[in-house]
Structure 1
Amino acid sequence: MATTVIRDADLVITWDAAAKQHTYLTDAVLAYEDGRITHVGRDYDGPADTVIDGKGLMVMPGLVNIHCHPSSEPMNKGLIDEIGSPGLYNSSLYEYLPIFRADAEAVPHCVRVALSELLLSGVTTVADLSMAHPGWLDLLAESGMRVCIAPMFRSARWFTKNGHVVEYEWDEKAGEKAMSEAFNLIERAEQHHSGRLFGMVVPAQIDTCSETLLRESFQEAKARGLSWQIHAAQSVVEFHEITRRHGLTPIGWLDSQGLLSERSIIGHGIFLDDHPSTRWHTENDLDRLAETGTTVAHCPTVFARRGISMQHFGRYRKRGVNMGIGTDTYPHNMLDELRLVSYIARTQSGDPRSLTSTDLFDSATIGGAQALGRDDIGRLAPGCRADFVLVDVTHPMMRPARDPMRSLLYAAGDRAIRSVHVDGEAVVRDGKVLTMDYEGAAAALDEAQKRVLDRVPQQDWAHRPVEKISPPTFRWA
């Protein structure tokens, strides 16, 4: 087997297993063979079939994104940037997202656009929370990424007839059937010839799934050794719906059903019992999350657009909650998302010391890996997968380079990324995605959005044209 060696790297972000933390290592060498790292250090006298000059480069572990909807979200660009239902606490979930859904022809273009953007921002592992669609597995494998396929299923759909009341249409048998199909799809993913696909169990939302569906899916996930994720505590509407049904908060109810665990992930987890918008008579939701080892998948952009924020990221971390990061919406830029995590956390806490760059990077690497049950990604150490990113530390926006990670997170972002590798194979080089036609998919998506817009009045409860729902920035002359 051929060995590739990156020599004389200015910097490698290595994993210190004893201290359980990332560490800067200067003038370093990283070697890998057959998709796995064989050496990280300063001295190396092993085989070197291919040598990469590391001068001017920082080698960092690929980022782990644990919550993403690539089959739908790219379609929403230019539509939902500034809208939220005023009668539904500014959420866009119930009134607007259903009317802007991509058609079947557009879905592959959505996926290629989203995954390309993720790759360009240094993501090597992503959890794809989507409804099953034709050719899904091969499309994900085409990207060259490591993908956790997460087919969503549910017992009900939500809708609104007036913009201020959310209703539910239930079909529990359909939910059970969809869950069975999801497990079959996960099995196929794990057997895929690419070797880079694995699965996660995702009952879609806490308010659209029956108690039976939640319990059965959780038990089956546990039996199969899979992670289990659910959207919960993601809107004020949902919070009130769950307290109305059960007399408990969303987090409290999940805990009472035994559904919180070290392999459980809460998508968003914003509206806890002590959040200013949903203050309840208890104050123990955060402790429940920490004590059960549950992960929260934080995706600030989609909420910040609607004036909504978590209270606050640093508080969750300090309480002991494992935090992971996702890109719930466009742009699918993980580094941009991390920067926003930091700024919102500090403004909400009123304290610049509430969250560090270490917290951010850990959440985007080892925090996400832990949530997915993986100890071979999100870090650079012998035995781990060779999933890494080469960052140009000589890029003008990386300088001064007193602390390269801060320069990357707060200034340069994806502009300084030179290449991205999964299992040692390059999937991005010199700012270009090598595995998919990003530009072609974006052009096709532009055309696909026009088809969606034509259908908006028929999909909307009030039969409004798109210009009424989402007015353009300027009047078209």
Structure 2
Amino acid sequence: MPVTLIKSAAWVVAFDGRKHTYMRDADVAFDGNTIIHVGPGFEGKAATTIDGAGMLVMPGLVNVHSHPSSEPMAKGWNDELGSPKLYQSALYEFMPLFRADAGGAPNPDDIPASATVAYSELLLSGVTTLVDMSVAWNGWVDTFAASGLRGVLSPMYRSARWFTKNGYVVEYEWAKDEGMAAMEAAMKVLDEAAKHPSGRMSGMVSPSQIDTCSPALIKASFAEAKKRKLPFQIHAAQSVVEFHEITRRHGMTPVEWLGSLGVLSDRSLIGHGIFMDHHTSVHWPRRDDLQDLVDTGTTVAHCPTVFQRRGIALQTFGEYVRRGVNMAIGTDTYPHNMIEEMRAVAITSRLVAEDVYDTRSSDVFNAATLGGAKALGRKDIGRLAVGAKADIVLVDTTMACMKPLRDPVRSMIYAAAERAIRTVFVDGTKVVDGGKVLTMDLDAASAQLEVAQKRAEAGVKSLDWAKRDHLKISPLMFPPAKGS
């Protein structure tokens, strides 16, 4: 296979077998899709040589929790929405109203456009491995593969849908088969992903939410994950409403109940994991949910931005890390920008803790690389080391937004964000160059998504329990000027 050499990089985030380290003036070489050299003085022959002067070379980021097929369309709609009588969550009253099929039959291009926008944003922010938690849609596997990402398809399914008739009580409508047919359909998607010729597609078993899935469905899903040797993820401890629902049904916290079902393990991820017994919003007797996660090796998929908007936060990321919980990061919602999400992790944790030392930037970067890789059971991603996959990000440290350059990863996280990312390789293939996505038409997808959003606006009133239109629920920032 042809060798590519990144020669004399100014900075390299290299993995020494235990941790990330900084190297200066080092080479990174990869043969096909595999890294063959990290360090000074590569002496082999290279078919392609990239000048590393002024560049930071770092591992591709691992995003363990995202919803590309739906979230991009909610931009401008869901930024400042939450139900005051449902503990500020938007999950139950508002999020079901704004979707591609809200105005009737969806245009077949709407969901692919939404996914394309998200995939593009993710690549531009240095993500090379993505867990895509979507409801299965036609063409998903091929579209995901065409993006160039290393894809983990995580088709969601459930036993019940949630809804509210009044804005303060959440109800559940349960399927007679408890969602087993939907689970079977999701497994067929995982089979398709495993067989994809790209070799970059794999799967994750994902019953949707702890409160919408029956015990039988959750246990059957975990058994299937073990059988297939795949990771398992479920949304849990994501709202006060859900916490109270689970304690009402079972007299246990969400984490405690999942433990009683036997589904906490080193292959398991909890989506969000905020409202545990120590959280000040739940006022529950302490029994140490965090220790259950540590003892079982369960990962928390942390996505701060979607909760920040509603005044909700983990307590705290730093505390979870100190206790020994494996932490990984996702971009649950728009913007699908992993660097901004990393910044939100660090700043929110310190704000909640009222302690600048609560969380270190290295903890955040570790979660976005090594923690995500561990959650997926992989030792060949999230690091620059010989034998690892050639998932590599080049950051331009000569840009004004990166200067003065004392610590390049810090400058990227806290100042430059995705603006400084120039080139991205996934599996040895260049998918971003010059800050442009090479594999997808982002402009065309964005235009289609805008059309889809207008269509969704028209359907809001028919779905809302109070028959409010979209402007009543989510008014524009400013009223229209007179005469306009």
TM-score, normalised by the number of residues in structure 1:
0.98
Letter aligned with residue 423 of structure 1:
D
Answering whether residue 453 of structure 2 is matched by residue 455 of structure 1, we say: no
Correspondent of 2:131 among 127, 130, 150: 127
Unaligned runs of 5+ in 1: none
**Which residue number in structure 1 is paired with residue 322 of structure 2?**
318
**Aligned mates of 1:279, 1:198 — CA distance in 2:** 40
Answer whether contact 2:326 2:371 (CA < 8 A) is retained. yes
Answer whether contact 1:156 1:172 (CA < 8 A) is retained. no
Q: How does 1:213-292 map to 2 (within 5 A)?
A: 213-292=217-296
Q: How does 1:25-104 map to 2 (within 5 A)?
A: 25-103=23-101, 104=106
Answer whether contact 2:178 2:213 (CA < 8 A) is retained. no
Correspondent of 2:416 among 412, 416, 433: 412
Q: Taking structure 1 as reference, are residues 126 and 172 closer, same or farther at Cα in structure 2, changes over 3 Å only?
A: farther
Residues 278-324 of structure 1, C-alpha deviation per residue, up to 9 Å, x if partnerless?
A: 12112311111111110000001110101111100000000000000
**Which residue number in structure 2 is paired with residue 443 of structure 1?**
447
Secondary structure of the 1:327 match is coil
Residues 387-436 of structure 1, C-alpha deviation per residue, up to 9 Å, x if partnerless?
A: 01000011111111111111111111111111111012111111111110
Answering whether residue 159 of structure 2 is matched by residue 155 of structure 1, we say: yes
**Aligned mates of 2:344, 2:437 — CA distance in 1:** 25
**1:194 shift after superposition:** 1.2
**Aligned mates of 2:423, 2:115 — CA distance in 1:** 21
Letter aligned with residue 342 of structure 2:
L
Letter aligned with residue 435 of structure 1:
T
Answer whether contact 1:346 1:354 (CA < 8 A) is retained. yes
**1:172 shift after superposition:** 4.3
Secondary structure of the 1:413 match is helix
My pick for the range that moved more, 181-190 or 309-318, is 181-190
How much identity, in percent, do the aligned residues show?
58
Secondary structure of the 2:269 match is strand
Answer whether contact 1:267 1:296 (CA < 8 A) is retained. yes
Secondary structure of the 2:330 match is strand
**Aligned mates of 2:180, 2:445 — CA distance in 1:** 34
Answer whether contact 1:272 1:279 (CA < 8 A) is retained. no
**Which residue number in structure 1 is paired with residue 10 of structure 2?**
10
Residues 233-259 of structure 1, C-alpha deviation per residue, up to 9 Å, x if partnerless?
A: 000000000000000000011111111
**Which residue number in structure 1 is paired with residue 184 of structure 2?**
180
My pick for the range that moved more, 224-233 or 41-50, is 41-50
**1:174 shift after superposition:** 5.8
**Aligned mates of 1:174, 1:147 — CA distance in 2:** 28
Unaligned runs of 5+ in 2: none
Residues 15-43 of structure 1, C-alpha deviation per residue, up to 9 Å, x if partnerless?
A: 110xx100111111111112111111102
**Aligned mates of 2:359, 2:176 — CA distance in 1:** 42
The number of residue pairs the alignment matches comes to 475
Correspondent of 2:175 among 162, 171, 176: 171
Answering whether residue 352 of structure 2 is matched by residue 348 of structure 1, we say: yes
Answer whether contact 2:301 2:330 (CA < 8 A) is retained. yes
Answering whether residue 140 of structure 2 is matched by residue 136 of structure 1, we say: yes
**Aligned mates of 1:289, 1:423 — CA distance in 2:** 32
TM-score, normalised by the number of residues in structure 2:
0.97
Residues 315-365 of structure 1, C-alpha deviation per residue, up to 9 Å, x if partnerless?
A: 000000000000111000000011011111001111111111110100000
Letter aligned with residue 141 of structure 1:
A
Secondary structure of the 1:229 match is strand
Which portions of structure 1, spanning 4 or more consecutive aligned residues, are displaced by more than 2 angstroms?
A: none
Answer whether contact 2:178 2:214 (CA < 8 A) is retained. no
**Aligned mates of 1:93, 1:418 — CA distance in 2:** 36
**1:47 shift after superposition:** 2.0
Could you say what the CA RMSD is over the residues aligned between the two structures, in angstroms? 0.8
Q: Taking structure 1 as reference, are residues 420 and 204 closer, same or farther at Cα in structure 2, changes over 3 Å only?
A: same
**Aligned mates of 1:211, 1:279 — CA distance in 2:** 25
My pick for the range that moved more, 281-290 or 150-159, is 281-290
Secondary structure of the 2:192 match is helix
Answer whether contact 1:120 1:433 (CA < 8 A) is retained. yes
**Aligned mates of 2:4, 2:145 — CA distance in 1:** 23
My pick for the range that moved more, 341-350 or 42-51, is 42-51
Letter aligned with residue 58 of structure 1:
L
Secondary structure of the 1:173 match is coil
Secondary structure of the 1:464 match is coil
